[in-house]
Each structure stands twice: as structure tokens, then as C-alpha cells.
């Protein structure tokens, strides 16, 4: 066995039964499952507190849903640009892939900016982490905790996407970066999926 | 293998399903229905959207069934947790309401 072959086998010793084409994909899925438990616990405890509170404010009346509905739509659009990036890379077009990765990152950056604007507006209206003028103080606590946790994920995703543009640029063969871009997509779609849940539970219900 | 590709689903169709479901969600909160019906409808719609994203955007439909188990476990844990928390929450709420009633009752006399 040549030295390079032994190094390769040390990196990927065998096929994984869950995701036969990539260990990295399995790693990302396991990370996402763990992260989903984190979000699940936050949302479940929110549900528990909300259901048993006598003076929980009506979220869509206090928070307003026009901006957040637009943000939801933006995140869905960014998921589409993400799958388009992977699709173009699969067809061997790296420049189109980079362009769609950039649009995805841009969508994420606009989302976080909208969230920053929404937070500052609500803080000025009196919504604080330890109290608010409309009712249960835990309303503000849970709102900032859950949307903040999600916002951090989006921020991390934007950094991840920008670094992937560089990753694709540095690898002339499109097949060399396909797997890594697919894994990035998993993370980004997960962030979108979580927002679907957050939007429903924190804003609409 | 890096070059292994999935059969690509019709992503634009999924996008339109997600957009339409979002519009329905917003319509539901203004619909003249009772609160329980609205909550059940919104939960079902959110779950439907989440399933679309996981199945098609995250390609779960084209993965092995065991990976599906990895993906569904957090949802089961979170759902279970809601039911674990509710009895405790209701007990606290009942006690708090009792205290509030006791405090406010003498003031009315």
C-alpha cells in the first residue's frame, strides 16, 4: 500500500451505512439532530409556559407579523438559491454555483438585518428580556432567547456560506467540492426548517 | 463519493408549496375559528412545511430509512417534553390563580 493510499483510508476507512456516499454528511445530520433537540427543548418549554400562563400576550398583536412573514418568505427563497447552487455544481458550473451561494448568503444577511431592526423596534416599545407592558414577563424572555438562538444560527450560516464560496473557488474540479456544498445545504435548510417552527409557534399561534 | 448526485426533485414546485402554505398560515390566524382549531391547523401546516423542507431540500427522501430515524428523534423528544411539562405548569397555574383569587376576594367587600 502506498503512503497516499494509507492516508486516504485513514480519512475514510469504510462506507457509513446511513449515508453511503459521505461520512461528512452523517456528521452534519448528527450535529443537526443534536441542534434540533436544543431548539425542540426551547420551543417545548415555551409551549409549556405559554399554555399554563394566565396573562400571556397575543404574539401577533404585539410583535406584528408583516415583517416576519416577509422574512419567512426570504428564508424560503434562500433555501431555493441553495439547492440551485448545488444543482449548478452538479452540472459542473462553478461560477453559477458561487453566484447562488452568494445569493443565499445575501438572503441570510438581509434576514439577520431585519431581525436586528425588529428587535430594536420592539425594545423601544417596551419588550425586554425581563418584562413587558402587555403581560407575562416570560413572553419577552422566551422571545429573545428563541429568536436570538435562531439569529445566531443564521449568522453562523452566512459565515459558513461565504467560506464555501472560497472553498469552491479553490477547487477547480466541481466534483471535489460537491459533497461539501451539499453538507452546507443541509445546515442552511435546517435553519430554514427551524424558522418555520419558530414563526408558527412564536408569532402566529 | 464526491461526484455522487441525487435525482433532483422539482425545487420550484416545493418553493411554491411552501409559499402557499405560508399564506394559508397567515390566513388561518384571521379566520373565524375557535382557538383550538387554529392552533391545530397551524401546527399541522408548520409540520407539513417542515416535512417538505426535510424531504426535498435536505434530500431525506432519497436517503436511507435509518437516517430518517436520526432526523425524527428530536421531534419526538420535543413533543414528549411538552406533555411532560404541562402537568407541572398547570399545577403552578392553578395555585397562582388560587392565590390571586384569595388576594382579590377581600378587596371586593
User: C-alpha distances in angstroms, A99 versus A11, A94, A130, A131?
Assistant: 31, 9, 43, 44
Per-residue pLDDT tens digits for A19-59: 887 888 999 999 999 999 999 999 998 988 888 888 899 89
pLDDT for B93 equals 74
- DSSP state, B7? P
The residue ranges of DSSP E strands in A7-131, in sequence order, are none
Q: Which of B81, B88, B54 is nearest to A193 (CA)?
A: B54
Nearest to A48 among B28, B57, B85 (CB): B85
Per-residue pLDDT tens digits for A81-92: 999 999 999 999
Q: How far is A132 from chain B (nearest CA, A)?
A: 20
A30 contacts on B by Cβ (under 8 Å): 70
Q: How far is B106 from chain A (nearest CA, A)?
A: 21
A82 contacts on B by Cβ (under 8 Å): 57
CATH numbers and ranges of domains, chain A:
18-204 (1.20.120.80)
A171 Ramachandran zone, left/alpha/beta (phi>0; psi -120 to 50): beta
Nearest to B53 among A17, A47, A189 (CB): A189
B23 forms bridges with which residues in the sheet?
none
> What ipTM did this prediction achieve?
0.86
Are the beta carbons of B67 and A177 separated by less than 8 Å?
no
Q: Which of A146, A132, A137, A125 is nearest to A53 (CA)?
A: A137
pLDDT for A18 equals 81
Count CB neighbours of A114 within 10 A: 15
A73 forms bridges with which residues in the sheet?
none
- DSSP state, B61? G
Name the phi and psi angles at A131, rounded to 5.
170, 165
pLDDT tens for chain B, residues 1 to 109: 444 455 678 899 999 999 999 999 999 988 898 888 999 999 999 999 999 999 999 999 988 888 899 899 999 998 898 888 888 877 877 777 666 666 655 544 4
Are the beta carbons of A30 and B12 separated by less than 8 Å?
no
pLDDT for B1 equals 40
Domain residue ranges in chain B: 8-62, 65-104
B99 contacts on A by Cβ (under 8 Å): none
- DSSP state, A128? B
CA distance A85 to B49: 22
Amino acid at each position: 500500500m502506498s503512503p497516499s493510499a494509507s492516508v486516504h483510508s485513514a480519512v475514510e476507512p469504510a462506507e457509513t451505512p446511513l449515508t453511503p456516499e459521505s461520512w461528512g454528511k452523517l456528521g452534519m445530520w448528527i450535529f443537526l439532530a443534536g441542534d434540533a433537540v436544543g431548539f425542540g427543548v426551547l420551543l417545548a418549554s415555551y409551549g409549556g409556559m405559554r399554555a399554563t400562563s394566565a396573562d400571556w400576550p397575543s404574539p401577533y398583536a404585539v410583535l406584528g407579523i408583516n415583517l416576519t412573514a416577509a422574512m419567512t418568505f426570504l428564508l424560503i427563497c434562500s433555501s431555493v438559491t441553495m439547492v440551485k447552487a448545488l444543482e449548478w455544481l452538479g452540472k459542473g458550473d462553478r461560477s453559477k454555483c458561487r453566484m447562488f451561494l452568494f445569493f443565499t448568503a445575501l438572503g441570510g444577511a438581509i434576514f439577520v438585518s431585519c431581525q436586528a431592526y425588529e428587535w430594536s423596534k420592539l425594545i423601544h416599545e417596551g419588550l425586554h428580556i425581563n418584562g413587558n407592558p402587555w403581560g407575562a414577563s416570560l413572553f419577552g424572555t422566551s422571545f429573545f432567547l428563541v429568536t436570538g438562538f435562531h439569529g445566531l444560527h443564521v449568522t453562523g450560516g452566512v459565515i459558513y456560506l461565504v467560506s464555501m464560496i472560497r472553498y469552491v473557488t479553490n477547487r477547480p474540479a466541481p466534483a471535489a467540492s460537491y459533497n461539501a456544498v451539499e453538507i452546507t445545504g443541509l445546515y442552511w435548510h435546517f435553519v430554514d426548517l427551524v424558522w418555520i417552527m419558530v414563526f408558527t409557534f412564536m408569532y402566529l399561534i | 463519493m464526491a461526484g455522487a448526485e441525487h435525482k433532483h426533485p422539482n425545487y420550484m414546485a416545493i418553493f411554491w408549496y411552501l409559499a402557499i402554505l405560508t399564506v394559508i398560515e397567515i390566513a388561518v390566524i384571521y379566520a373565524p375559528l375557535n382557538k383550538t382549531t387554529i392552533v391545530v391547523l397551524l401546527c399541522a401546516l408548520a409540520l407539513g412545511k417542515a416535512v417538505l423542507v426535510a424531504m426535498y431540500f435536505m434530500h431525506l427522501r432519497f436517503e436511507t430509512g435509518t437516517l430518517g430515524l436520526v432526523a425524527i428523534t428530536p421531534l419526538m423528544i420535543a413533543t414528549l417534553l411538552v406533555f411532560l411539562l404541562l402537568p407541572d405548569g398547570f399545577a403552578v397555574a392553578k395555585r397562582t390563580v388560587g392565590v390571586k383569587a384569595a388576594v382579590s376576594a377581600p378587596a371586593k367587600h
